[in-house]
Amino acid sequence: MSEIKFIDKLSKHFEKLPGVGKKTAERYAYHIAEKMTIDEVEAFAKELVTTKKDVKHCKVCGMLTDQETCPICASSYRTKDQIMVVRDTKDVIAIEKTNQYNGLYHVLGGLISPLDGISPDDLNIDSLEKRLDGIKEVIIATSFTPNGETTALYLEKIIKKDGLVVSRIGYGLPAGGDIEYVDELTLRRAIDARKINN
């Protein structure tokens, strides 16, 4: 603990963020205390609270949004008979950046992980089964990690039905890597070269 208590108090909050260690957290705290104006700090604090209060899961796909139905589900320009299944909203953002996909999404909210006690019941899977009427293709875009594979196999089993193509993106994706960290070009190729399993 440093001698400067107000820095400790503030930096503790930043340390809770992913990828922020003690040193960086302290730099943020000093920056706020010394460099930012009161107006900037107030706007920042207000945005934090507003985001947390307003943002919820889209009632159709499960993606984070500040509306009842997210802009992708609500858009009339998207291909409505294609659903890409991803782990979380960060993956949607990564795939949207590629401009290679114009269908809908389904956000699971995690991956099946027996070691962490996460079962299919804990994820947004029931609602996927209910969305399949009129869908021609489901693209499974979970990562090539043990949990990603387990989830993909489980999904393939439960959504299989006549007339529905189930594919999986994969070509060129790193084994063990998360979709959100894959560069745009690789991701674009992986979507293009998706493999159809049935």
Residue 173 CB neighbours (<10 A): 21
Q: Are 132 and 159 in contact (CB under 8 A)?
A: yes
- Using DSSP bridges, classify how beta strands 195-196 and 165-168 pair: parallel, antiparallel or unpaired: antiparallel
Regarding 125 and contact with Zn ion (CB under 5 A), the answer is no
Q: Report the residue from 7, 25, 29, 73 that binds Zn ion according to the rule CB under 5 A.
A: 73
Which of 50, 51, 31 minimizes the C-alpha distance to 41? 31
Q: Supply 166's token pair.
A: 């189930």
* Residues within window 20-59 making contact with Zn ion, judged by CB under 5 A: 58
- By CB under 5 A, which span of 72-80, 137-145, 161-169, 171-179 interacts with Zn ion? 72-80
- Quote the Cα angle for 44-45-48, to 5°: 90
Q: Which is nearer to Zn ion, 11 or 89 (CB)?
A: 89
Q: Report the residue from 7, 60, 94, 155 that binds Zn ion according to the rule CB under 5 A.
A: 60
Regarding 95 and contact with Zn ion (CB under 5 A), the answer is no
Q: Which is nearer to Zn ion, 105 or 154 (CB)?
A: 105
In the chain, the amino acid numbered 187 is L
Regarding 141 and contact with Zn ion (CB under 5 A), the answer is no
Regarding 86 and contact with Zn ion (CB under 5 A), the answer is no
How many residues contact Zn ion, by CB under 5 A?
A: 6
Regarding 84 and contact with Zn ion (CB under 5 A), the answer is no
Report the alpha-carbon distance of residue 75 to residue 62 in Å, rounded: 15
Contacts with Zn ion by CB under 5 A lie at: 58, 60-61, 63, 70, 73
